Amino acid sequence: MDLQEKVRRKLQEKLSGPPQAVGMDGNELLGRLNRLSRVQTIKDIPQLTTALFPGTHCPLMGAAMIAGGIKDCLLIIVGTDECSYYTKSLTLSDRYGGINGRCVSVVLNSHDVTFGSAESMHKAFKEIVAEYRPKCVMLVTTCVIEVIGDDYDAIAEELTKQYSIPVMAVHTEHFKCEDHFPGFERAITACQSIMQPQEGDGSVNVLGQRFGDFADTELYALLQKSGVKIGVQLPSGCTSDDIRHAPAAKVNIVVNDIALPLAQAMQEQYNIPYVYFNRFAAPEKILQAYQHLF
């Protein structure tokens, strides 16, 4: 018995158990295989299974979802055509304005990757401003930008000064993280650059509301009953002007971990305290959060 036949028999033994154990019949699986002598190219190796889950999303998705909650924010993706296609397909909903909505891209070519993309970015931004006239911009860099090392924080500052439009640089490289959650955090934290000092109005800001309407929550009902004014709800349907006035609040209510860095930064810069009011399942923690808030 040759080695190849031994391998086939061993594999058949492992796969010959109940079909429910492996998701398919072992004999059927073996019937799809080719002998090594018949394999000339990769196309001769059949696909035996189909992925049920396409894999994790990259931080680019998280940043795009935060931008979607800021009504007048234009999302600009800087990177490859694959990244641009992925983001455009994600943002075809009415929330972003559809196919001609507020998601555009600057696709880099080999020259940009070799010699830097700053010149192409400035040229593209001029055209984008003329066509879209945005109130604020989220400039999202993808993996290729982070690999070649272009300084998009500096570019965002230059564009802000040149066009008098808030431009937030958000870095979404996937090779440094496992999923899309850092994109949420970085995008919402970047909104601090829009904020300006304000006179206090006694309101509370709600930071980190990812799903649903805050107005449907028990916390909202209690705030309303107590006569507490609601300030900015980021990123739940606010505008850049709402974000600009966020420092008028007396306290920030953080309802998701993604907003903790922003709340901490606002406490440091504007001396606004925050209450971490996550969706607890423990009654004592819920009570502690209410006591801390009121």
Q: Given its phi and psi angles, is residue 52 left (phi above 0), alpha (psi -120 to 50 degrees) or beta?
A: alpha
8 A C-beta contact, residue 79 and residue 104: no
pTM higher than 0.75? no
pLDDT tens figures, 111-151: 888 888 889 999 999 999 999 999 999 999 988 888 888 89
CATH class of 59-194: alpha beta
Q: Tell which wins on pLDDT, 8 or 176.
A: 176
Rounded-to-integer distance, Cα 38 and Cα 61, Å: 43
pLDDT tens digits, residue range 204-224?
Answer: 999 988 777 888 888 888 888
- Interstrand relation of 73-79 and 136-141 (parallel, antiparallel or unpaired): parallel
Give the N- to C-terminal CA distance of the chain in Å, as an integer.
79
pLDDT of residue 17: 47
Per-domain boundaries in the chain: 59-194, 204-293
Q: Give the class (CATH, top level) of 204-293.
A: alpha beta
Q: Which pLDDT belongs to residue 204?
A: 92
CB within 8 Å of 236: residues ≥ 6 apart: 69, 206, 209, 213, 214
Instruction: Evaluate whether 59-194 and 204-293 have a shared fold.
Output: yes
User: CA 250, CA 130: separation in Å to the nearest integer?
Assistant: 38
- Are 55 and 178 contacting, i.e. CB atoms less than 8 angstroms apart? no
